[in-house]
Amino acid sequence: MPQVAAGMIPLESNFLVPNGTFVVELITFAIIVWLLAKFVIPPINRAMEARQEAIRKEFAELDDAKDDAHKAEEEFKALIANARHEAAKIREDAREQGAQIIADARGQAQTEAGRIVEHGHAQVQAERQQAVASLRAEVGTLAIDLAGRIVGESLDDDDRSTRVVDRFLADLESMETAKAAGRDGDS
């Protein structure tokens, strides 16, 4: 046996037998692990699970929002297509109404033009008759004066002078009619 110096404890140790410090450290480590597992890790796990659940909800809400956005986009496209269709229909209706208005206005204008032409013809006819009556009176007066000078007697009798003028104008008209018939027959 080896000798031990005075005041020293013999150090014979077996490495298979743990010493007291190791056991105390092992117990302390086990207590710390138990305390961590009992009081520290569960709140951390709950916080992590809550955060994961919040993230899952956000992703679900994001997917729902994305679906809603796609639905809204489809509805918007449908509304745009419907609005374009309605606009085309309104334009077509406006064209048809415009064509109808133009046709009505053209018909009214033609009716009004016909009325104006008819009124013009009637006015020309009235003026012609007035001119013929005026010319008859003047020609009659001139013819009576001329006939009175040629004959040498006065033709102041109104009935007789009117008959003479009417006969003279009738002869003039018959000569004009005969000339016109001769021209038409030559053509």
Check residues 9 and 127 and name the one with the higher pLDDT: 127
Q: Is the pLDDT of residue 1 over 50?
A: no
- Measure the CA–CA gap between 157 and 169, rounded to whole angstroms: 18
pLDDT at residue 186, rounded to an integer: 64
- Measure the CA–CA gap between 145 and 138, rounded to whole angstroms: 11
Weakest-pLDDT range from 18-22, 51-55, 106-110 = 18-22
- Measure the CA–CA gap between 66 and 63, rounded to whole angstroms: 5
Q: Is the pLDDT of residue 12 over 50?
A: yes
Q: Is the pLDDT of residue 145 over 90?
A: no
- Helices first, then strands: H and E counts in the chain: 3, 0
pLDDT at residue 141, rounded to an integer: 76
Q: What's the whole-model pTM score?
A: 0.39
What is the tens place of the pLDDT at every residue in 23-63?
A: 899 999 999 999 999 999 999 999 999 999 999 999 999 99
Instruction: Round the average pLDDT of the chain to a whole number and report it.
Output: 84
